[in-house]
Structure 1
Amino acid sequence: MSNIVTKSLMDRLLKLQCHFTWDLLGEDVDIDNVEERLNDQIVFLQGALKHRMYNLLAYLKHLKGDHEKAMIQLQNAEAHIQRSKISEDTDVRRTVMYANFAWVFYHQNQFNKSFTYAEKVETIIKQYESPPKKNTLLLDIYGEQGWTYLSFTGKYYKWAAECFEKALELDPEDPELNSGYAITVDRMETFSCGSNTENKSFPLLERAVVLNPRDTVVKVLLALKCLDMKNYNQGAMLIEQALQEQPESPYVLRYAAKFYRKSKKINKAIAMLTEAVSLTPTSVTVHYQLAKCYKDFIKMPTHYNKQQNDEAIANAIFFSEKAIELNRLSVGAHILLAQVYMKANEHEKAKELFNKTLIMNDIDSEQKQQLHFYWALHLKYLRRSESGAVRHFKEVIDIQNPSWFRETAIKELKKLVETMKLGSHNCKLDARSPNCNSRRM
């Protein structure tokens, strides 16, 4: 094929709306981990538009350079659309899939087939170029793009929210789009510790539950939001409803476990997560949540049962390391393991992991604040190093990102500085005071 024709094909491909043109960068994710999550969703998420998961799986195979398996995933997507017996607009559901086909054939140097599929997309677009049919096409594309960004990694959540917002402008009552938008905003709040968009997700989750009462995932997320708002009874009622509706859903189990862990019912949470891990043994989230449960059992080195404490430390380390093994790019799992080492007073291991995590490519400003904050607490309470704690509280504050960690670090630093001033004053009164030496650590 001549260079002119090849360039013409590439120009057409670049105009297609699909995973290959949505700026999804392989270096941003642990590809194996995303594949595992998608495969679990195909098995366990009832009522999901699974052709979208197959489309993303095809793109992930492309990122691995395996275009034969990418083609198989696209064929799975097409077969699922055919089995779904969608009464209308089946071509709309094929738009992104056909565009992906065109790109995969291009990478296989099958340019004639690539042209054919690019033309199929263009034919569908022409059929839907006039209102109101155009809205139907845009809704599907925005929806698939939003779910793709949501499934990829945290740094894409903002783009996911924008896609769902565009789609909801066209159809505010669509249940699936409302669920997607509510889940996205909830995750954005979770990752920002509720500092900037606090409770914006609450009415969105409420609306999603009303529009799609069978969606147990949004139901348990709403329950967690109720708990954050100190409404335990409403949250517990929603959790029980979801567990009755889908008792063997690993997603319901993991979020219910999170609800009970945050309610200090840790043994109940561990039991649910143990069941969830039997269903999804490669889930990073489940191992991460188990590690958090066992971390909560670790006590400060006073008034505790040593055997139970040692078991809690061992389990917290095991499940944190397993989460990291399953997703090497999980900053949260690295931070959690560092916290476990801090609570166990394994200072050198904590310090090594602290420094390693700080230079990870995917770590954001808030996660850096989180690391410095917990390291400051570790130095203050377990190492009795007030000067070290001051230095790391300052590191938190110097990162110009509004967050709970920054606000709390400011308060902690003020208290610490006052304490150090008082200690310095007492040292002047009695130079022989042992406290005077400890303040200089």
Structure 2
Amino acid sequence: MSDILKNSLMDRLLKLQCHFTWDLHGEDVDIDNVEERVNDQLVYLPNALKHRMYNLLAYLKHLKGDHEETMIQLQKAETQIQESSIAEDADDKKTVMYGNFAWVFYHQNQFNNSLTFVEKVETILKQYESPPEKNALLLDIYGEQGWTYLSFAGKYYQLAAECFEKALELDPEDPELNSGHAMAVYRIEGFRLSSNTGGKSFPLLERAVRLNPRDTVVKVLFALKYLEMNNYDQGDILIEQALQEQPESPYVLRYVATYYRRKGQIKEAIAILKKVLSLTPTSSNVYFQLGKCYKKFIRKPPQEQQNAEAIANAIFYSEKAVELNRSSVPAHILLASVYMKADKHQKAKEEFDKTLTMNDMWPEQKQELHFYWAKYLKHSRKSEAVRHFKEVIKIQNQTWYREIAIKELQELAEPI
């Protein structure tokens, strides 16, 4: 193929809606970790649209340079579409997959095959030019794009929310899209550590639960929102329902454990997380949560044996969370804070410095990191602690960490 034809093909490829044009960067994630999470979803989320997961797995394999496995995953996506109940109206489900095929063939220098799949997409787009059909096509594309961003990394959650919002403009009552939108906004609020209870996600979760009562994961997230508002009765009811509906789902149990931990029922949370670990033994998130639980048991002054066990467990699980997902900023922040609590100053300093240079840090996470470091240094290195409390306040995002940092400086009689 001549250079002119290649350039023409590239122009057409760039117009496709698929994983290769959605600006997903491999350096933003631990690819193996994302891949493992998606594989777990295939096993433990039976109601999910699996062709979407195979599409994402194909892109992850591409990022790893495994073209053969990329094709295998795309073929699985195609088979899943044909075998599922949506097969009679499958064309709109194929646009993203065909786009991925076109890009993979292009990267393999199989330009004629790439062109074939570009033309397949363009044929479908012509079939869906009129408004009702076009809306159905856009609904599927926005939905898949939203779930892809939600599965990829924290910095993509805002993009996920925007995709779901576009889709909901076309169909406000779609249960799956409402669930996706509520989850995206909930996760954004979690990253931003807002001191407000409820937030924007509360009515979205309430609506999602009403429209999609079988979505147990959303139900547990709604329980966590009730917990933020100190409405334990409503939260407990939703948790009990979730445990009755999906007692073996690691996704449900993980959030249930978070509920118990935030409620102060640490032993119950640990018991559930260890059950989840038996189902997903290499889950960074589960190790992360266990690290947070054991960190709660670390006391000052030390209580000898009990404290030594808590420190050992907190360090073990936090280090394992980082090892399994080195791109996870929260895992690194947790490990740094555990080292601080355990009075391992050199390791704490090394982890603090390393984490502060990570590219994917949200401003709120920088606040959290500086806050813990300032608290740790408060009694031994007052001037350094003051400097880090001021770093927290410099970041204007209104979080709990900023509020407490202001109070800490007032107590230390330092100007803000």
**For the superposition of Structure 1 and Structure 2, which TM-score range results when normalised by the shorter chain?**
over 0.9
Matched with 2:340 is 342
**TM-score if structure 1 supplies the norm length?**
0.92
Matched with 1:71 is 71
Contact 1:189/1:198, CA 8 A, preserved across alignment? no
CA distance in 2, matches of 1:70, 1:349: 40
Matched, 1:410 2:406: yes
CA distance in 2, matches of 1:159, 1:247: 32
Shift of 1:365: 1.7
**Deviations for 1:180-213, whole angstroms, at most 9, x for unmatched residues?**
0000000000000125795210111111111111
Aligned residue pairs total: 415
Matched, 1:401 2:397: yes
Which structure ranks higher in relative contact order (CA pairs < 8 Å, sequence separation ≥ 6)?
A: 2
Contact 2:19/2:59, CA 8 A, preserved across alignment? yes
SS of the equivalent of 1:184 reads helix
CA distance in 2, matches of 1:291, 1:100: 38
Matched, 1:57 2:53: no
**Deviations for 1:378-405, whole angstroms, at most 9, x for unmatched residues?**
1124x3x322221111111123333222
- TM-aligned CA distance change 1:39 to 1:333, over 3 Å: same
Kindly provide the amino acid, as one letter, of the partner of residue 324 in structure 2.
L
Matched, 1:173 2:169: no
CA-atom RMSD in angstroms: 1.4
Q: Displaced runs of 4+ in structure 1, greater than 6 A?
A: none
Matched with 1:311 is 309
Matched, 1:200 2:196: no
Alignment map for 1:22-421 (pairs within 5 Å): 22-86=22-86, 88-195=88-195, 199-301=199-301, 304=303, 306-381=304-379, 383=380, 385-417=381-413
Q: Which structure 2 residue ranges, 5 or more long, are not aligned?
A: none
**Deviations for 1:219-267, whole angstroms, at most 9, x for unmatched residues?**
1111111101101111111111111111100011111111111111111
Which structure's CA Rg is the greater one?
1
CA distance in 1, matches of 2:307, 2:282: 27
CA distance in 1, matches of 2:164, 2:139: 9
Contact 1:365/1:401, CA 8 A, preserved across alignment? yes
CA distance in 2, matches of 1:226, 1:400: 27
Q: Which region of structure 1 is more displaced relative to structure 2, 400-409 or 332-341?
A: 400-409
CA distance in 1, matches of 2:214, 2:105: 39
**In percent, how many aligned pairs have the same letter?**
74
Contact 2:223/2:239, CA 8 A, preserved across alignment? yes
**Deviations for 1:336-360, whole angstroms, at most 9, x for unmatched residues?**
1111111111222211211111112
SS of the equivalent of 2:346 reads helix
**TM-score if structure 2 supplies the norm length?**
0.97
SS of the equivalent of 1:297 reads coil
Shift of 1:408: 1.9
Contact 1:270/1:290, CA 8 A, preserved across alignment? yes
Contact 2:81/2:87, CA 8 A, preserved across alignment? no
CA distance in 2, matches of 1:319, 1:188: 25
CA distance in 2, matches of 1:99, 1:203: 36
Kindly provide the amino acid, as one letter, of the partner of residue 50 in structure 1.
K
Contact 1:216/1:245, CA 8 A, preserved across alignment? yes
CA distance in 1, matches of 2:20, 2:211: 32
